[in-house]
Amino acid sequence: MHTPFIVALDFPSKHDVQQFLRPFSGTPLFVKVGMELYYQEGPAIIAMFKEQGHAVFLDLKLHDIPNTVKQAMKGLARLGVDLVNVHAAGGRRMMEAAIEGLDAGTPSGAARPRCIAVTQLTSTDERMLHEELWISQPLEETVSHYAALAQASGMDGVVCSANEATLIKERCGASFLAVTPGIRFADDSVHDQVRVVTPRKARALGADYIVIGRSITRAADPLAAYSRLQHEWNGGETE
Ligand SMILES: O=c1ccn([C@@H]2O[C@H](COP(=O)(O)O)[C@@H](O)[C@H]2O)c(=O)[nH]1
């Protein structure tokens, strides 16, 4: 079982990420590689993290026609990543195709990467959902509906705000993963996030994994910030 702390390595280059990871040397992490790093460094960065013993969430949020997603997932499965994702808004057939691609690309004897679906980005609020995206249902109901659709399509879980984790567990069951970005310490800037939750509250609400980037990667002392994350997840208070 991986650690529940997924560190978002949103850096522009391998050099920057190596500098950030230096103080963590010898500590196996669960790292998230997103578009910024992957589009610069490609599959080699994944190989590097795996050699260093880290678990990898490749967060590319695929959203395209089913065949394109299937073929892309076939390739991603060969990279040996642990977790990948799609946008649930791509629909049932696209999500099923993602799983077909992962099954086809996973080397024999290896475990298929788990695949989760983004419900609504944690930077989205109710106003944006209604006025910009023209989705008329309340945000929580939309997230819950996308989670049920993702489950029916064979997904292993969803990306959502921790605020919605309880609702999702009630609807989809305890083993359906709730992977939750938008995590902030109480005294942090929220940046561009909207649906934010503290590490301690995220756990209480039922999040399986918390995704945290800038609160760690931009901290004056990232190692201390990571320890604080563990402390608060385990119920500790920070003065
Ligand atoms: O709904 C979503 C889906 C993905 N993310 C990603 O998580 C991290 C969060 O970084 P912070 O610096 O902690 O805000 C980032 O890589 C996003 O691309 C998300 O935030 N919300």
CATH code of residue 206: 3.20.20.70
Instruction: Measure 82 CA to ligand 1 centroid, in angstroms.
Output: 18
As a whole number, mean pLDDT of residues 147-163 equals 99
Q: Specify if 76 maps to a domain.
A: yes
pTM of the predicted model, to two decimals? Answer: 0.98
Tell how far CA 202 is from the center of its chain.
Answer: 14
Query: Could you say which of 61, 74, 169, 201 is catalytic?
Result: 61
204 lies in which domain range?
5-116+180-233
Q: Specify if 238 maps to a domain.
A: no
The total of other beta-carbon atoms located within 10 Å of residue 130's CB is: 15
Predicted confidence (pLDDT) per residue in 5-16, tens digit: 999 999 999 999
What's the pLDDT band for 18 if we cut at 50, 70, 90? very high
What's the pLDDT band for 3 if we cut at 50, 70, 90? very high
Residue closest to 224 by CA, chosen among 185, 197, 196: 185
214 pocket-lining for ligand 1 (C-beta < 6 Å): yes
As a whole number, mean pLDDT of residues 159-185 equals 98
Q: Mean pLDDT score of the chain, rounded to an integer?
A: 98
Instruction: Measure 110 CA to ligand 1 centroid, in angstroms.
Output: 28
User: Residue 48: is its pLDDT beyond 70?
Assistant: yes
Q: Specify if 207 maps to a domain.
A: yes
User: Residue 1: is its pLDDT beyond 70?
Assistant: no
In this prediction, residue 237 carries a pLDDT of 87
Q: Specify if 122 maps to a domain.
A: no
In this prediction, residue 238 carries a pLDDT of 85
Q: Specify if 135 maps to a domain.
A: no
Q: Specify if 195 maps to a domain.
A: yes
Q: Specify if 100 maps to a domain.
A: yes
Q: Are 15 and 37 in contact (CB under 8 A)?
A: no
As a whole number, mean pLDDT of residues 122-131 equals 98
Nearest atom in ligand 1 to the alpha carbon of residue 32 is: 16
If one counts the domains in the chain, the total is 1
- Beta strand residue intervals within 2-111, DSSP E: 5-8, 30-33, 55-62, 83-87
Tell how far CA 18 is from the center of its chain.
Answer: 21
Instruction: Measure 165 CA to ligand 1 centroid, in angstroms.
Output: 16
Q: Specify if 148 maps to a domain.
A: no
User: Residue 2: is its pLDDT beyond 90?
Assistant: no
Residue 89 vs residues 20, 104, 106, 133, 176: alpha-carbon distances, Å: 34, 23, 25, 11, 18
Nearest atom in ligand 1 to the alpha carbon of residue 193 is: 14
216 pocket-lining for ligand 1 (C-beta < 6 Å): no
Predicted confidence (pLDDT) per residue in 182-191, tens digit: 999 999 999 9
Is residue 61 part of the annotated active site? The answer reads: yes
User: Residue 239: is its pLDDT beyond 80?
Assistant: no
86 pocket-lining for ligand 1 (C-beta < 6 Å): no
Predicted confidence (pLDDT) per residue in 173-210, tens digit: 999 999 999 999 999 999 999 999 999 999 999 999 99
Q: Best mutation site among 20, 36, 39, 122 for ligand 1, i.e. most ligand atoms within 8 A of its Cβ? A: 122
In this prediction, residue 170 carries a pLDDT of 98
Q: Are 69 and 77 in contact (CB under 8 A)?
A: no
The total of other beta-carbon atoms located within 10 Å of residue 203's CB is: 20
198 pocket-lining for ligand 1 (C-beta < 6 Å): no
Is 59 annotated as a binding-site member? yes
